Amino acid sequence: MMTGESGFVDVCAHGAGRGGLDTRAVQSAIDACAGRGGGTVYVPPGRYVCGTIRLASFVTLHLEAGAVLEGSTSPGDYEGGEGGYLIYGEDLDGAALTGRGTIDGRGPSWWTSEMINATALRPKAARPRALVYLVNCRNTVVRDVSLVDSPFFTLWMLGGEGAAIDGVRIANPRNGPNTDGIDVDCCRDVTISNCRIDAGDDCIALKSNAKWLGRRQACENVVVSNCVLSSSTCAVRVGYEGDAPIRNCAFSNLAITDTHIGIDLVSILPADEQAARYIQEGVEIENVAFSNVVMDRAQRPIFAWVGNETGGPMRGLIADVAIRGLTARAAGSSYIGGLAGNPIRGFRLSDVRIEVHGTIESADVAVPDVWGSQPVPFGLYCRHVEGLTLGEVKVDMASARGPWRGDVHCEHVNTE
C-alpha cells in the first residue's frame, strides 16, 4: 500500500491500536478521508476492537494482511437499529472494502450453547444483525477481505445498484444461527465472483424484501461465478423472503459441498407469522440460469417449490429456470413442484447427472415445506410443472437404500 498518495489516511494516526475501543479512531480516519473528497483509509496489521463503523462515499476502507477489525461484544457499541451492524453504509456512492485483512464478528459470543434445532445454536436476546450492512448504496466494491464469525447475516446488501464482490472469504460455524454468507436483497446489477463461503445458513441468498426496504424494488441482473460454497442450509437460495420480483440472474462454475440443499428456489405464502410480515403476496422468480455446477455430499441437489400455506391470493411464481451442466452426489432426492392452480412454468434441465446414495425409511410422498426436509421416494420428483424439459438427465439410484420407488417421476407435468 502506497502511503504517500493523496487522500490516504492511516487509522493509527487517529489513535487506533492503542488499546481499548477503537471505534472513534477508525471513524475519525474515515470522516477525515471523506472530508478530503475521498481516498483510502488504511488499517495496518494489528487488532482493532470496534463497534459500528460508518463507511463514506468514495472512501476505501483497506485492511492490510494481518489487520483484524474485531467486533465489540457489548450491544451498546452498535448503531443502526435491530441490534445494529459492525460495518454500516447507507445512501453511499463508490464505497469500498478491500484488502487481505479480516473482519471478525465474534459470533460465538452472541449465541448460547443451546441448540434451536438440529443445526443451529440459539442466539442471545441481543446481537448485531449484520457484520457488513449496505443499504441504498451505489457502485460498491468488496474485494479480498475475510469475513469471519458473523453473529447474524455476514454481508447484506439492500436496495443497492452496482456492486462487485470479488475474492471474499466468508467463514462462519455451521451451527451459527442465521449466519448467511451474502444476501443480495432488492439489488440490481451485482456481480459475485471468486468467493469461498462456509455458512451456518444460506451461502448466497437472493431476496426481495420490499417491506424491509420500504419500497418495491426488484432483485435483478445478478451474476455469480467461480465460487466454492458449503452450508448447513442452502448453498444458493433464490426467493422466499419478500414480495418484489427476482429476475435475470445467472450462476456458473460453482463447487458445492456438505450442504442441505444445493440449488433452492422458493415462492410461497407462509403460514409462519414472523415470515408473513415480509411475505404477503409471494415472490415472482423469473429467468434464472445455472450452469457448470458440481455438488458433493448434498442432501438435496435441487429444490424448487411454489407453495401456499395460507390459501390466500398469491402473486408469486417460478418461471423460466434453466439448469445446465450439473453433476451431483446426494443423499436424498430433488424436487421441482408448483401448485395445481399455480404451476412452475418453463423449467429446463440439461446435461444433469445425479447419483443418489442415501437411505429412506418410507415410500410415502410428503408435501414439502420451505425447508425441503420431507423425504420423497424418487431421485427426481416433478409435479405441477408446465413446460418441463429434461435433456440428457440421468439419476443413478444404484447406491440408494430403502423403499425408493424410482429415479425420475412426474405428475401433472407438461413436457417440451
DSSP state of 152: S
**Predicted pLDDT at 370:** 59
CA–CA distance from 204 to each of 131, 224, 248, 263, 292 (Å)? 15, 9, 16, 10, 17
Write the CB contacts of 328 (distance below 8 Å, at least 6 apart in sequence): 262, 293, 294, 295, 296, 298, 301, 353, 354, 355
Residue 191 is placed in which grid cell? 456481480
Residue 123 parent element (H or E)? strand 121-123
- Alpha-carbon span 283 to 311, nearest angstrom: 16
**Any idea how long the chain is?**
416
In angstroms, rounded to a whole number, what is the distance separating the alpha carbons of residues 109 and 107?
5
Following CA atoms 338, 340, 342, 347 in sequence, which dihedral angle do they give, to the nearest 10 degrees? Answer: 40
Burial 157-186 (b: 16+ CB within 10 A, else e): bbbbbbbebebbbbbbbbbbbbbbbbbbbb
- Using only the alpha carbons of the chain, give its radius of gyration: 22
What pLDDT sits at residue 5?
54
What residues form DSSP beta bridges with 70? 49, 104
Bridge partners, residue 182, by sequence: 155, 204
User: How far apart, in whole angstroms, are the C-alpha atoms of residue 230 and residue 72?
Assistant: 27
Model's pTM, two decimal places?
0.96
> In the chain, what is the straight-line distance between the N-terminal and C-terminal CA atoms, in Å?
56
Tens-binned pLDDT, residue by residue, of the chain (416 aa): 444 456 899 999 999 999 999 999 999 999 999 999 999 999 999 999 999 999 999 999 999 999 999 999 999 999 998 899 999 999 999 999 999 999 999 999 999 999 998 889 999 999 999 999 999 999 999 999 999 999 999 999 999 999 999 999 999 999 999 999 999 999 999 999 999 999 999 999 999 999 999 999 999 999 999 999 999 999 999 999 999 999 999 999 999 999 999 999 999 999 888 888 999 999 999 999 999 999 999 999 999 999 998 989 999 999 999 999 999 999 999 999 999 999 999 999 999 999 999 999 888 877 666 555 667 899 999 999 999 999 999 999 999 999 999 999 999 999 87
Closest among 230, 136, 144 to 193, alpha carbons compared: 144
Burial of 271 (0-12, 13-18, 19+ CB in 10 A): middle
Domains of the chain and any CATH numbers: 8-415 (2.160.20.10)
- How far apart, in Å, are the Cα atoms of 44 and each of 27, 169, 372? 15, 19, 45
Per-state percent for the chain, helix, strand, coil, to nearest 5: 10, 55, 35
3-state DSSP assignment of residue 294: strand
**299: three-class secondary structure by DSSP:** strand
The candidate with the shortest Cα–Cα distance to 373, out of 194, 179, 117, is 117
Spatial separation of the C-alpha atoms in residues 385 and 188, rounded to whole Å: 28
Instruction: Write down the pLDDT at residue 362.
Output: 83
Strand 153-158 relative to strand 182-185, pairing: parallel
Distance CA(24)–CA(405), nearest Å, equals 63
Give how far the C-alpha of residue 3 lies from the chain's centroid of Cα atoms, to the nearest Å.
Answer: 35
